[in-house]
Amino acid sequence: MARWQPDARERLQQAALELFAEQGFAATTVPEITARAGLTTRTFFRHFADKREVLFAGDAEVPAMAAAFLAQAPAGAAPLTIVLDGLRAVAETRFEPRKAAVRARREIVGTDEGLQERELRKRAALAEAIRAGFVARGLDGTRAALIAESTVTLLFVAVAQWLDDDRPLAAIIEDCLEALRAELSPP
């Protein structure tokens, strides 16, 4: 077994994103990724099931993180307060430190229908975790579904804008909430 490399995972991700951008997702092979990273394919498969997983690494844990966040929120907290606290934390810990990688991923996902489906499933899994978390907090199913879907809408619409913008994601989320309130107010 190769010596444990603390940064092997990040090096593989970086190499994969570079190669996907240079020559396309479909044309890139795992041996090319590992060669670029200076690692073995065996190391690759210790970290990722396949090259698609490189793009979505860490995303599988997001619904569970959302569920845990909802479960530990103060008993009397308003749903929107919990949502905004959660989105702020996600913006600061998962998005701001890796804007270039998120942008590269958007480009690659846009080129491949299978990756777009994976993105839709990811989004649906997050909405479902939030919905279930609010039902567990006592909200009725309709309220829980509305706030869950809107949370995911705010996050994804704000991230899309953030990738073309210089302002912090958390500020853009606040603006998107204001804009959404305006759109939904009685005409």
Residues at the contact surface with a second copy, assessed by CB under 8 A: 78-81, 117, 120-121, 124, 141-143, 145-147, 149-150, 153, 156-157, 160-161, 176-177, 179-181, 183-187
Q: Which is nearer to a second copy, 67 or 146 (CB)?
A: 146
CB 22 within 8 A of CB 108: no
| Least distance from a second copy to the Cβ atom of residue 120, Å | 4
Alpha carbons 155 and 130: distance in angstroms, whole number: 13
| Least distance from a second copy to the Cβ atom of residue 174, Å | 11
Q: What is the dihedral sign for C-alpha 168, 171, 172, 173?
A: positive
Q: Which is nearer to a second copy, 7 or 107 (CB)?
A: 107
Q: Which is nearer to a second copy, 13 or 79 (CB)?
A: 79
Q: Which is nearer to a second copy, 32 or 128 (CB)?
A: 128
Residue 26 in tokens = 């479909």
Alpha carbons 77 and 163: distance in angstroms, whole number: 31
CB 66 within 8 A of CB 86: yes
| Least distance from a second copy to the Cβ atom of residue 71, Å | 19
| Least distance from a second copy to the Cβ atom of residue 52, Å | 15
The alpha-carbon radius of gyration of the chain (Å, integer) is: 19
